[in-house]
Structures are given as structure tokens and as C-alpha cells.
Amino acid sequence: MKSDPHKNHNDNSRRKYWRENSLESSDENISGKFDWHLVKKFAPYLARYRGWTIASVVLMLLYTVFSLANPYLIGVAIDQFISHGNLGGLAIICIILIVINVLMWQAQYWQVWTMSWAGQQILYLLSTDMFTHLQQLSLSFYDRTQIGRVMSRLQTDIDVLESMLSSGLLSMLGSLVSLVGIVIAMLIMNVPLALLSFTVLPIMFVITAFWQKHAQRSFRRTRAAISVVNATLQENISGMRVIQSLAREDRNRSEFDELNAYNRDTNNDASRIAALILPLVEVVAALAIAITVLFGGVQVSRGSLTVGVLVAFTLYINRFFDPIRDISQQYSQLQRAGVAAERIFQILEMPVDIVDKPGAEELPQIEGDVEFRSVTFGYSRDMPVLRDFNLHIKAGQTVAIVGPTGAGKSTIAGLLARFYDIQQGAVLVDGHDVRDVTQRSLRSQIGVVLQEPFLFTGTIRDNIRYGRLAASDEEVAEAARAVGAHDLIAQLPDGYDTPIRERGRNLSVGQRQLISFARALLSDPRILILDEATANIDTFTELIVQQGLKRLLDGRTALVIAHRLSTIKGADNIVVLQAGRIAEQGTHAQLLQQNGIYASLYAMGFRHTSFDDIDHANIDAPSTVS
Amino acid sequence: MILPNKNQPADPLYLDTWKGNLGIYVRIIKLLRPHWKLSLGAIVCLGLSTGLALVVPWLLAWVIDTGLRHGQFSTLLLATVAILVTSSLRGLFAYGQGYLSQAVSNHVAYDLRNTLYDHLQTLSFSFHDESETGQLMSRLTVDIEAVRNFIPLGLLRGLLALVYFGAISVILFRLDWRLALVTMLSVPLLIVLSIQVSRRLRPLWLGVQNETGALGTIMQENLSGMRVVKAFAREEFAISRYDAQNRQVRELNMSAMRLAAWNQPLMVLILNAITVLIVWLGGIAVIGHQLSLGVLVAATTYILLLATPVRSFGYMVNWFLRGLSGGIRIFSVMDTAPTIADAPGAATLKHVKGQVRFEHVSFAYGNGREVLHDINIDAQPGQIIAILGATGSGKSSILHLLPRFYDVSKGRVLIDGRDVREVTLSSLRRSVGLVLQDVFLFNATLRDNIAYGVNDATDEQIIEAAKAARIHDFALALPDGYDTWVGERGVTLSGGQKQRVAIARTLLLDPRILILDDSTSSVDMETEYLIQQALDVVMQGRTTFVVASRLRTIKNADQILVLDQGSIVERGSHETLLAQGGAYTRLYDLQLREQEEFEERMMASTHGSEERKAS
């Protein structure tokens, strides 16, 4: 991690740090140059489908040869047979032509097919590799990266590569090969005429190079414009409720129109330039044809050239410019694909900072004893959030952590599950350093319930079962019943089969939280982390949730981060955190007696009393705090 | 999981019939109407450039037949110049065609984007409840792009192919009608082949589209729920899910590509076979002196010219299909009528006093289940109405009916005696301020976010609102003050800060009626104190509906409504409800009594200690 010297400007430096270290910066800086290092990175993927790729290239060569033979043979038919009145020869050459065309058809089919096949396999591998890699990246990556930008790499960039791999690359290669073939054929047929028609090439190159430069710039501008348009649309759709509730539609309409029009005009500018290349190639081609006809015509009239050769030659000139036209068009596509590949490999090469140690052992079934031993940790090395932090939680205890925002409460929870690696000290679970055991075995014995209960699309049942994939329907229902979610779920028209919409929007936060409790209960962890899990639940739901919570905490080691006194009061130990250090700890009663920070927090909380900060423990059997 | 197009009505237009599809194309073509000049220009350029392209082989034939035979250099030179001139002209028109067709499609994309965005703004909450952001975005991006590309790459190229075919057949018929007839043999073959392939390709592409969308959803969810994935150590599960879907996308893609790979070369083969036939039959005719060599050469050249449009047939079919499915998806949104719109002749709601009445209101969301039953509320101007109830009891639904985000199914909602359905939506919503549960901030400066609801707020007004909402001090502490950029979805602000920005935003609107969906408990106690202060200011002198969880708010309320399963089970003030001994009392006994006593004790002791200190 890079250190930032200006750490005083906390917010600014953090943003700068993100920008430098995240994927963000590379998004708009499309270099426009094709990077040949990419070919090297790409090689292993191609190598996996070596056979198919080679077959495809061979077939393409065949196809190109066949397609070049076509006009040549037509020329021969005219010169050798039609002019000389040879009916039999004409029939033979026509049969040969048919055979060649059928072969050409097959060659092209198999060539496109093998290439698409290999391309699809490669894309599939690439995207799966990328996804797998993303699963391994630690949460610190996700803390500083916008999901949308990663998504665009997994979708847009793969799409760009797809069109390149499935058609672009090969047709470009095909164009090059046929260009070479045509040049050779023209040289064989008539060297002076061929050389004569090549004289227009320098003009061609100058024009294309000039065009490239301008086109590239304007293409880049259109990409930037459309990405702003899409970002704005995305934002406005997400915020549609706010827009409608503030009756701001008219203003947004005109603001969007402005942006939309800018995008249109940028595109029109680009089209103006893009449309130039084809007519230019056309005119240069015509120049070549004109020269050939003029000189060839003179030669024909002198008898040093046959009409058939001249006809074939003009046909070749047309064909000669086809690949040039294709290449000049596809060059920009190649560049775009290069950029896309670069962005994909950026993700694939993103270092995984939390990995299982070589030979890491499975964490055996634990009791749930947790110890933080002089832990120092900061998200950035020079800004420690926790300093020399010591805390011991005995198996089965509930420890509550309180303190102001930014004191490091959630950090402690994240360290226990090894979402981040500490810089000094050790985090021990049943005496095992969390870094010495596999992440999987560690996390499968730790349950986490977050403030924002995140549900996946699928049914409610699927979501609860996420806690233990092998659980039966009865076990799912039992877990739901235990946390008090069953009645709420049963109320819904489709019960457990109710589909959950994008981010669980069709359920209230309380309902979602109850489902996430059931999910955690089903996974039956020895250690439970509640990260402000009750913060978003309204008073009435909390009555139910509290009971579910009791059931959930029963017999487990629990680390509870909470603002609500209800969740805090019953804890075996309350830790008051301030600026990464423990300021006070003890039971509720002890801390009140100390009359320190906790007591004043408590008093302040009550002066602005809310239903939320009320102890529900005495609704049913009161849990006595000793 | 991708939701099947729920918003798509079962209109015959969308059924996959020959007629329905034609209807979609006609609708797309109608989009060109406002840009008829550009479109006409593109078509004229297309015709001219095609015509000129066809002149070149004719010139070549002429050179071969007359120029070479007589060996006149001047004829040759003339032909050369003619070739150059026609080619340059052709280049000019080709440029016009290329640029104009792109320009038309840019304009159409612009129109579509504007119309669609506009329409989405008029569609009511119930629509937005049903649709996913990703799905709507894909219509605004992928589908518009498909229609946009369809115009030059599908429609115009199709036209070009037709013009080409038409012109070449005319020329061929003039050259030699027998050769022309043979050439025309290819036309029915090509048409049949295209229709057949597109019929098979269409469901494949649709499948690819849907499965890719599903893949996107899996990805999106996985990435945004990474914390949960990691917490449950479900990485492998996620990978296998993604992999299975990815595999499916690949399989579908490959079948589509296989079909396309088969089709396009086959079309070229048909054309080439016809060319060979022409050379053969033509050759026989030339040998039998029924045809001149020049005509045969010209004819083959013309037929070879057909190769370009035929080769592009494969792509064209593709663009036609994409344009079709894009068109269907776009039009299906456009054809969704907003369920909530201004009534004809709706009046502007002016000088609101703030009296609100719910009269026998029942309400059901789109799925038909009634969530509110016979609700009656009478709120006088300036009153605070506290609504209490469990999750799912219908609290939010009541709040949503007032600014008419949804329409009641029975009864009516009145503001100052006027039915909310009889006034314009914009005037209604400007009179009703909301602080929603999920605070959404826009990617803009803090100032812009506060002033989001008001057109021309002055700096003084903004600062005043910010002060009242207790966000001013925080704003000043930011590096750029009020000009500090608030990141995507306001990520750089904490929940409490966002909430206070939202309060300032509402305050600036200065609504007579206020709705607070209160979820401020996710903040620490100090922030909560600030928010409480801010809310106190906001509620002054306004009719306020608040989903309350704070004792003080509840005690201050003029009316407390206790909701249970969509019905008001108790109503009254704190005192009257306590006296009734119902649900509210039970709640109070369980949760409040002890706390109130405790608070009194705390107050007394702090008071006492302060007095002791003072003495």
C-alpha cells in the first residue's frame, strides 16, 4: 500500500489514495496505443486451444487462396476458352470453379466456427477466471472500488473482446493474408502493371494515418460522453423516488436533454470523421484502376497484354482495396480490444492480499474462545485504527462494543473473521492464530449479521438456506421460527417461496434482518458477530427480533456492536472504545458506577429518549446482569 | 434470476408474429419522421453513390469493347478521366450517405433516450417497484444502441442491397435478358435462406440476451454482497453458480454463432455458383456469337459487385433481429401508461393550510393484497400525527398515499378539503415534504443536493436550511465547504449526515405538510441528538406525519395512531391512550414506564450534582 504524506486532510487523501490504487484512474485514460505485452498475457489462453486456433488459421489461408482463385479462373475462362471457342475447356473450368466455391464455402464455415468456438472458450475462461479472482480479493479491495466499474469490466470489456475474438481478429488476419495473396497474384500476372497500381499506396498510408489520429480522438470523446450519459441515467433511475417526490421532473428533463444533446453532437462529429475513410479509399482505388486501364489499355492495343489479364487485373485492384478498407476500419476495433484486454488483466493481476498460508490447517471444531493480543491495525499502514488492542472473550460470552463512529468497532469484527490482516499482534480463536488456519474453516464457524441485511435474489427459502446449503426445508423453517421470522414469512402470499427482488426491496428492513438472523442461525456458528444488526429495526419489530436474537446468541460467543442499550445491557462485558483504544470495560452496572464515558453516553441517550434504547430483556424472562 | 418481462402487456403487438414484428419495424421507421430531411438526404446519397458505382464497370466494358478495339489513346484517356470523375463523385455521395445515416441514427437515439427517460419520470412508484434498475438501464443502453445501429446497418444496408439488386438487374436486363434471368435465380434462394435463418436465430439471440442479463445479476449481487459471501465462506458456491450460468451463455452463444457461420458463406456460395453459371452459359453464347465478350465481362463484373451486399446479408439479418428485440423492449416501456397522472383539468394546489383527511381509505399494492383497510384520519393544520405499528402494519403505505405516489383503492385523501387526485401532481408534491427512510443523495455538490428540490435557492437560503438541519457546521468543516462533491450515492457521508442533508433539502422546500419516515436509529447517540434537534425545527408550524419511534416525538404528538395489520386499532393523545389501557398502554408499561422513571432519576441526579457543583 502506498503511503500518503498529507494524511491530515483525511477525506481528501483517502479519496486520492482510492483513485491511485483503485481501478478508477485507468477507466478514462484510454491510451489509444496497442500494447504488445497483452499478446504475451493472452498467449496462454490461446495456447489452450492451440489446435482449434491453428485449424482456424489454416482454414482461413485455404479460404483466402480459394477466394483469390475465383477471379483468376474467370479470367482464364475468358482468355483461354471463351476467346478461343473451346466449349469443352469452358465446361471443365466451370466445374473446377464450382468445386472451388463449394470448398471455399466449407472452409469459411469451419474457419468461422472453429474461431468462434475457441473465442467463446477463451472468453468463458477469462470471465470465470476474473470472477474467481474477484472472490479471492479481500474486502479492502471492495472498500475502495465501485462495483459498477468492476461490473463494466466483466461485461463491457468482455463484450468488446468477444466481437474482436469472434470476428474482428480473424477477419483482420484474413485481410492481411488476402492482401499479400493479391499482391503476389498481381505481380505474377504482370509486374509493371502491378507496380504501377501500387504507386497509390503511399497516398493511402498518409491519408489513413491522418484519419486515424483524428478519428481516434473523436471516438474517445464519444465514449466519454456516453459514459456520462449512462451514469446520469443510472443515478436518476435509482433516485426516481426522490425526483418525483420533489416534483423535479421538469428540471431533470432539461438537464438530461442538455447532456443527451451533447452526446448526440459528439457522436455526429465523430460520424463526420468516421464516414470519411471509405470514400477516400474508394477514390484512391479508382485512381489505381484509372492508371491501370490507361496503361493496360495502351498495352492491349499494342498487343503486349491480353484483354483477359486486364479484366482480371481491374478485378484484383478492387479486391486489393477491400482488405485495406477492412484493416483501416478494424484497426480502431483492435485498439479498443487492446484497451479492454488491458482492463481485464488489471483485475486478474490484482494481488490477493489475504491468502491461506502454505500448509494452513483446517480450524477444528471450536469452543469459541477469542483473543486479541496487542493488535495494531490500520486500513492504511500509517493510519492505525486500533493500537495495541487487547481483548479476551471467553467461550460463550457476549461482549458488546460501544463508542463513537470511527472508533474502530466494526474493524474489530472484520479482523476476527480475517477480512483484513493485522499489522502487529495476533488474533486467536481457541488459541489458533487466524492467519494459520484456512479462511474457509475459520469463517464457516463465525456468523456475521450486518446492519444492512444483504439478501440475494431467489426465494426467502434460498436466502435462509444460504447459511447451510444442505439444510432441509424443515430445518429452514425451524431456523426461521427460532428467530421469530416464521410468522412474518407465513403472512406473505407465497410464504417461503416469495421471490426476493433486487436487494430485497420488496421486504422491509426489519423483515430482511430477521431473514438474515435465520440465515446465521442455520449456519450454526460458534462465534457470532452482530455489526449494528438491530439498528434499522423499528420498535415493534424489535420486540420480535430481541427474542430471535436471544435464541441466536444462546450458548455462542458473541461480539455485538450496537448503539441500542437493549442489545448492550445484557452483555457479559461492555467495551467502550475510543480512538482505537479501550477506554473502559465492565458490565453495565459496573460501568454506570464508574460514572465515566459509558455513564455519560447512557445519560445522553436517555435524555433524548427513544423507544429504541429501551431494554426489552425483561419482556420475557429477564436476563439478570450480575 | 431474471424476471420475465412483467411490464410487458399482452398486446398483440408484442407477440412474435409476422404482423407484430412488421409493426415494430414500422414504428422504428416512424421515428425517422422528424428527421425526414436527413433521412431523405441519406437515401438520395445512397442511390447516387450506388448508381455511380455501377457506372464504373459499364465504363470498363465500353473501354474494352470500343476503346481497345480501335486502339485510340484519346478514347482510353476519356474513359480513364470518366472513371476518376465518377469515382470521386461516388466517394462524395458515399460520404454523404455514411455521415447522414449516422447522423439520423444519432438523432433517433437522442430522441429515444429523451422520450424513454421522460416516460420513466412519469411512471409511478408501482412501476418502479416492479422493475429493476439494471433492467431499465439495459433498455436505455443496449436496446437503444440496437435500434440506433439498426438504422444504418440494418435498414439502410437493406435498402442498399435492394437498390443494388434492383439497379444491377435493370442493367443486366439491358445487357442481356437471358443472363439477367439466370442471375435472378439467386434472389428467391437468398430470401428463403434469410427468412429461415432469422427465424432460427431469433430465439437463440433472445436466449443469449436473457441469460447474459441473468449472468449480470449474479455478478452484481455477488459483488455488492461480498461481505456476506465472505462471511459465510460461500465463494465456491458463488463461483459454481456463476460458472454454470456462464457456461449456459457460452453454449447459447455458440449455437447462435454456428448458425451464423453456416448461413453467411452459404449465401456467398449461392451467388458464386450463379456467377459460374453465367460464365459458362455466357461463354457458350459468346462462342456461338450470340453475345459479345464485352457484355459477358461486364455482366460478370456486375454480378461480382453483388458479392458485397450478399456478404453483408448475414450481419444485416443480425441487426434486423437486434433492432426488433430492442424495439420491442423499448416500446413495451413506452406503452406502459402511467397509473398516476394529472386528471384532465387538474387544478394547482395553492396556499395550502395543511389540513389533511383520510376518508375510509383502503389500499392495495399492485399484487392485489389489501394493506390498508378503512383508514380515517383528520389532521388539523400544524398538528403532529405519530404513527406506530409493527413492520408490515401499513405505516409507510399511509405516508405514500398523501403525495399520491400510489392511488387509493377506496375512499379518498383530502388536503384542505380537496381530493389529491384533483390537483396537479407537481403542485401537490411541492406542498408535501418527505424525508424518506432510505436517503438518496445525488452525485453532486453538497449545495446542489440541498437545493435539489428548489429551482433558484440563494446561498443564504441554503445555509439557513443547513443550519436548521444541523449540517452547517459539518459543511464548513469539509475541504470545499458546500462545494464539496458528495460521491456516488453519497458514499462519503455517514448515515446521520445524509439524513440531515435530506432534512435540509426538505426544509428548503418549505412544505406545509411534512412526512417523516423515521429511521434515524442507525446513528450514534450524538448524531441522533443533532437529528432530533433538526427535526424539532422542521416540524414547527407544519402538519407532520411521522412514523415515530422516539418517545418525545410520540408524547408531543397531537394524535397517536396505532396500526395493526392495516387498520388503526387505537388513536388519541399520549394521555388518552394511556387511560384507555389498550395496546399503547401495554407498550408503555413494557417499555416506557421504567425508562421514564429512570430518566427522572437521572435528571434529578445530574441536576443535583450540578447544584452541588454550583454551591
**Each residue's pLDDT tens digit, B84-129:** 898 899 889 989 998 999 999 999 999 999 999 999 988 888 888 7
What CA–CA distance (Å, rounded) separates B3 from A502?
A: 10
The predicted pLDDT at position B112 comes to 93
Q: pLDDT tens for residues B436-489? A: 766 778 877 888 888 888 878 888 999 988 888 888 888 888 878 888 877 654
**CB–CB of B301 and A123 under 8 A?**
no
Interface probe with B: pick from A19, A115, A539, A588, most Cβ of B within 10 Å: A539
**CB–CB of A311 and B276 under 8 A?**
no
The predicted pLDDT at position A64 comes to 82
- Averaged pLDDT for residues A83-101: 89
CB A139 within 8 A of CB A116: no
Q: Which of B253, B297, B436 sits opposite A311 (nearest CB)?
A: B297
> Which residues on chain B are in Cβ contact (under 8 Å) with A538?
390-391, 519, 547, 549
**CB–CB of A297 and B443 under 8 A?**
no
Which amino acid is present at B52?
Answer: L
- To which H or E segment does residue B466 belong? helix B459-468
Q: Is A509 on the interface with B (CB under 8 A)?
A: yes
The predicted pLDDT at position B294 comes to 82
The predicted pLDDT at position B27 comes to 92
> Which residues on chain A are in Cβ contact (under 8 Å) with B536?
none
CB B205 within 8 A of CB B182: no
Residue-averaged pLDDT of chain A: 79
The predicted pLDDT at position B71 comes to 62
**CB–CB of A234 and B137 under 8 A?**
yes
Which of A375-384, B52-61, B268-277 bottoms out in mean pLDDT, i.e. has the lowest? B52-61
> Which is nearest to A511 in space by CA: A501, A524, A522?
A501
Q: Which residue of A has its CA nearest to B216?
A: A155
> Which residues on chain B are in Cβ contact (under 8 Å) with A97?
276, 279
**CB–CB of B547 and A538 under 8 A?**
yes
- Which of B 366-405 lie inside 8 A of A, CB atoms? 367, 369, 388-393, 396, 403, 405
What CA–CA distance (Å, rounded) separates B45 from A181?
A: 34
Q: Which residue of B has its CA nearest to A445?
A: B232
**CB–CB of B122 and A146 under 8 A?**
no
Which residues, other chains included, contact A45 with Cβ-Cβ below 8 Å and sequence gap of 6+?
A: A122, A125, A126
**CB–CB of B453 and A307 under 8 A?**
no
Q: Measuring CA to CA, how many Å separate B212 from each of A345, A589, B419?
A: 21, 58, 46
Which of A45-54, B49-58, B423-432 bottoms out in mean pLDDT, i.e. has the lowest? B49-58
The three cell numbers of residue A207 are 491519408
Min Cα separation B19/chain A (Å) = 32
Q: Which of B60, B220, B494 sits opposite A147 (nearest CB)?
A: B220
Kindly give the interhelix angle for B177-184 and B186-224, rounded to the nearest 10 degrees. 30
The predicted pLDDT at position B381 comes to 92
- To which H or E segment does residue B182 belong? helix B177-184
Which of A134-143, B353-362, B600-609 bottoms out in mean pLDDT, i.e. has the lowest? B600-609
What CA–CA distance (Å, rounded) separates A229 from A250?
A: 18
> Which is nearest to A190 in space by CA: A314, A321, A323?
A314
- To which H or E segment does residue B432 belong? strand B432-435
> Which residues on chain A are in Cβ contact (under 8 Å) with B494?
405
Please name the residue that has the C-alpha cell 476458352. A81
Q: Given a cut of 70, is residue A10 above it in pLDDT? A: no
Q: Which residue of A has its CA nearest to B367?
A: A493
The three cell numbers of residue A155 are 461485461
**CB–CB of A563 and B258 under 8 A?**
no
Strand partners, B459: none
Q: Is A168 on the interface with B (CB under 8 A)?
A: no
Q: Given a cut of 80, is residue B144 above it in pLDDT? A: yes
Tell me the backbone φ, ψ of residue A195, rounded to 5 degrees.
-60, -35
SS3 content of chain A, % helix, strand, coil (to 5): 65, 10, 25
Min Cα separation B151/chain A (Å) = 14
Please name the residue that has the C-alpha cell 477469462. A126
Q: Given a cut of 80, is residue A567 above it in pLDDT? A: no
Burial (Cβ within 10 Å: 0-12, 13-18, ≥19) of residue A386: buried
Chain centroid to CA A106: how far? 38
- Which of A 333-362 lie inside 8 A of B, CB atoms? none
**CB–CB of B90 and A493 under 8 A?**
no
The predicted pLDDT at position A18 comes to 33
- Averaged pLDDT for residues A27-54: 70
pTM for the complete prediction?
Answer: 0.77
Q: Is B476 on the interface with A (CB under 8 A)?
A: no
> Which is nearest to A558 in space by CA: A406, A405, A413?
A413
> Which residues on chain B are in Cβ contact (under 8 Å) with A86?
287
Q: Given a cut of 80, is residue A164 above it in pLDDT? A: no
Q: Is A619 on the interface with B (CB under 8 A)?
A: yes
Kindly give the interhelix angle for B36-62 and B157-175, rounded to the nearest 10 degrees. 30
- Which of A 46-85 lie inside 8 A of B, CB atoms? 70-71, 74, 77-78, 81-83, 85
> Which residues on chain A are in Cβ contact (under 8 Å) with B431?
none
Q: Is A207 on the interface with B (CB under 8 A)?
A: no
**CB–CB of A405 and B106 under 8 A?**
no
**CB–CB of B223 and A78 under 8 A?**
no
The predicted pLDDT at position A603 comes to 67
> Which residues on chain B are in Cβ contact (under 8 Å) with A245?
403, 405, 429, 432, 434, 436
Q: What's the residue count for chain A?
A: 626
Give the number of other Cβ atoms within 10 Å of residue B37's Cβ.
10
Q: Is A112 on the interface with B (CB under 8 A)?
A: yes
**CB–CB of B109 and A511 under 8 A?**
no
- Which of A 271-330 lie inside 8 A of B, CB atoms? 271-272, 274-276, 278-280, 282-283, 285-287, 289-291, 293-294, 297-298, 300-301, 307, 310-311, 314-315
User: Does A358 or B496 have the greater pLDDT score?
Assistant: A358
Min Cα separation A492/chain B (Å) = 10
Q: Given a cut of 60, is residue A177 above it in pLDDT? A: yes
**CB–CB of A282 and B225 under 8 A?**
no
Min Cα separation A238/chain B (Å) = 7
The predicted pLDDT at position B600 comes to 62
User: Does A578 or A329 have the greater pLDDT score?
Assistant: A578
**CB–CB of B228 and A123 under 8 A?**
no
> Which residues on chain A are in Cβ contact (under 8 Å) with B606?
603
**CB–CB of B114 and A257 under 8 A?**
yes
Work out how many CB contacts closer than 8 A connect A with B: 458
Pairing verdict, β B444-445 and A386-393: unpaired
Q: pLDDT tens for residues B338-392? A: 888 888 888 888 888 889 999 999 998 876 778 899 999 999 998 999 888 776 7
Q: Which residue of A has its CA nearest to B96?
A: A275
Pairing verdict, β A386-393 and A527-531: unpaired
Q: Which residue of B has its CA nearest to A95?
A: B276
Q: pLDDT tens for residues A326-347? A: 777 677 677 777 777 887 888 8
What CA–CA distance (Å, rounded) separates A69 from A66?
A: 5
